[in-house]
Amino acid sequence: MLPAMSAHPLHTAVSAQDWPGCRAVLDAAGPMERTALIRAVAGLPDIEGFLTAVLRADPADGTASALLGEHLLHRVRAIRAEDRPWYELDDRATLTRELLCRAEQTLIDGAVQNPADPAIWSARLVSAHGLDLGPAETRRRYQRLLAAAPDHLPGQFDMLRSLYPGRDGSWEPAHEFARETAAAAPPGGAHGALVAAAHIDHGLVDPDRGLSHTEVLTAYLVQEPVRAEIQRAAERSGVPTGYGRLGFLNLFALCFTLLGDQPAAARMFDHMGDRAAEDPEALDDLGAGNPWARLGDAVHEFGEARERALGGAK
């Protein structure tokens, strides 16, 4: 479980441009936690020059390659999310292409030096999707990730998103990947979250029907095949014991809340404990985003659902 990043030693080390301090934290983390930590600090401002200097001094530093690549990818997402007035020059496509190419080259160089670094291969899945390199190349990168770190959940979320269709495409390849990956995962893993996340994203892919996001997602989730698949994924997974535990519980708590299954929702909220209510940032330990934000104000939606499920006992 990751503490709030603003108080995390890695946040402090990156902000202070203390590379030995960064490496001390990241080298001590497990593969999935390391990838998640790199992504959690990749959006910090004014770190490109710092990381470029680290790589200039040691081109074989895979951790610096992964963090710089993720930083550039974060900037791509930030530019795409900008809301610009219609009368301003919209150069976002040019800017994002440039950043994606720089991220790709950084990650290629890092992979040459560190061919078994799962954080680099996870980031290369994102850059492949952003550069439209096609399913064959994305799958090749995913296989390299699995060779480096089987069951690497951050990268599996990246692979899942790469399978999401365009507006009129089929969602079945994404759902099939989520099902098969979750079923093949080791006991105690949070991989069942892939199934829940895919259904939440599918249910909200086209929400503009004069209904709230809650109503649209509920109408999708209550379809019997969807409900059954979510229940099977939760039952098969049990309660995760390691990386992604809170994110898993949070995703299924939302699903069971909208399905009207109060006992199942209560179990998820109960396993989260009080910290989830006190520190909403901790709910995204999967790095997949807080799903409650898709319905409105995340803190309000989570708090109301938790209170209903636990009957005011917490």
Identify the pLDDT of residue 2: 46
Q: How confident is the model over 119-168, as pLDDT tens digits?
A: 999 999 999 999 999 999 999 999 999 999 999 999 999 999 999 997 66
Identify the pLDDT of residue 1: 40
Residue with tokens 């990838």: 35
How many Å apart are CA 240 and CA 167, to the nearest integer? 33
Identify the pLDDT of residue 279: 66
Mean pLDDT confidence for 264-282: 82
Mean pLDDT of the chain: 92
Identify the pLDDT of residue 313: 45
Check: CB of residue 193 under 8 Å from CB of residue 288.
Answer: yes
Q: How confident is the model over 179-236, as pLDDT tens digits?
A: 999 999 999 999 999 999 999 999 998 766 689 999 999 999 999 999 999 999 999 9
Nearest to 153 by CA among 116, 111, 193: 193
Q: How confident is the model over 38-92, as pLDDT tens digits?
A: 999 999 999 999 999 999 999 999 999 999 999 999 999 999 888 766 566 678 8
CATH class of the structural domain 1-83+91-158: mainly alpha
Nearest to 222 by CA among 197, 259, 252: 259
Of the ranges 111-125, 164-178, 273-287, 288-302, which one carries the lowest mean pLDDT score?
273-287
Count CB neighbours of 88 within 10 A: 8
Identify the pLDDT of residue 270: 94
Instruction: Give CATH 1.25.40 domain extents, the chain.
Output: 1-83+91-158
Identify the pLDDT of residue 180: 97
pTM of the full structure: 0.92
